[in-house]
Amino acid sequence: MKIEMSPSTMLNPVPVVMVSCAGKDPLKEETRPNILTVAWAGTINSEPPMVSISVRKSRHSHGLICETQEFVINLVTEDLAKACDYCGVRSGSKEDKFSATDLTPVSAPNMKYAPQILESPVSICCQVKDVIELGSHDMFLGEVKSVSVDEKWIDDKGKICLEKAKLVAYSHGEYYGLGKLLGFFGYSVASKKALARRMPAKKHSKRNTK
């Protein structure tokens, strides 16, 4: 039996990302490059590629993103989890989170102000297209202008091997590494040949509905 609860943000797990941004003058303390941790991020369109991040008005980063209309979503690996958490509990209004976490801001393709984080395996550079005021959070709709992938995760055939990067998920207030591979897009109807090629270690029954 399921117990009915009051409405809440119970969608789990979600990605947790580090959003980098900066004001127009990166040399000024109040507009220097900054990192904000965001769990409420999502892919919302494919042509053009678009993403959203929901950010409270009170966040220092909110003002920076409004000023430049740019932000970069940086994916988080297990190695970066602690830095990611730190960027979600300290404000850039009071300290330089890049130096506090030993992360490196580097210029991002197609971005005038927002840096990418060098240590992140994938950085998604976004231009704000719209801001929707939802209540507690403002949702920034961003068009993806470029994606930078650390060459370490690209094999010699040009395939991006993100499964090796040890990405992190966030569920009900806790960070998790990703578990074992369960399947791939369409595996429930894939041929035996495709299953054997993509998941050689797994035993395959005829039709995988269970």
Ligand X SMILES: Cc1cc2nc3c(=O)[nH]c(=O)nc-3n(C[C@H](O)[C@H](O)[C@H](O)COP(=O)(O)O)c2cc1C
Alpha carbon distance 70, 128 (integer Å):
6
Given the complex with ligand X, which of 101 and 123 has the nearer CB atom?
Answer: 101
Alpha carbon distance 194, 208 (integer Å):
13
Subset of 144-183 contacting ligand X (CB under 6 A):
170
Minimum separation from the CB atom of position 172 to ligand X (A): 11
Q: Are strands 137-149 and 50-56 parallel, antiparallel or unpaired?
A: antiparallel
Subset of 86-105 contacting ligand X (CB under 6 A):
88-93
Q: In residues, how long is the chain?
A: 210
Beta bridge partners of 40: none
Minimum separation from the CB atom of position 78 to ligand X (A): 15
Given the complex with ligand X, which of 90 and 202 has the nearer CB atom?
Answer: 90
Beta bridge partners of 143: 50, 127
Minimum separation from the CB atom of position 37 to ligand X (A): 4
Comparing CA positions, the residue from 91, 83, 73, 118 lying closest to residue 34 is 91
- Asked if 194 and 153 count as a contact pair (C-beta separation under 8 A), the reply is no
Looking at beta carbons, which residue is closest to ligand X?
88
Subset of 26-65 contacting ligand X (CB under 6 A):
34, 36-40, 54-56, 59-61
Minimum separation from the CB atom of position 166 to ligand X (A): 17
Given the complex with ligand X, which of 56 and 112 has the nearer CB atom?
Answer: 56
Residue linked to tokens 């976490």: 101
Which secondary structure element, helix H or strand E, spans residue 24, and what is its range? none
The site for ligand X, by CB under 6 A, has a size of: 22
Minimum separation from the CB atom of position 15 to ligand X (A): 10
Interface positions with ligand X (CB under 6 A): 16, 34, 36-40, 54-56, 59-61, 85, 88-93, 137, 170
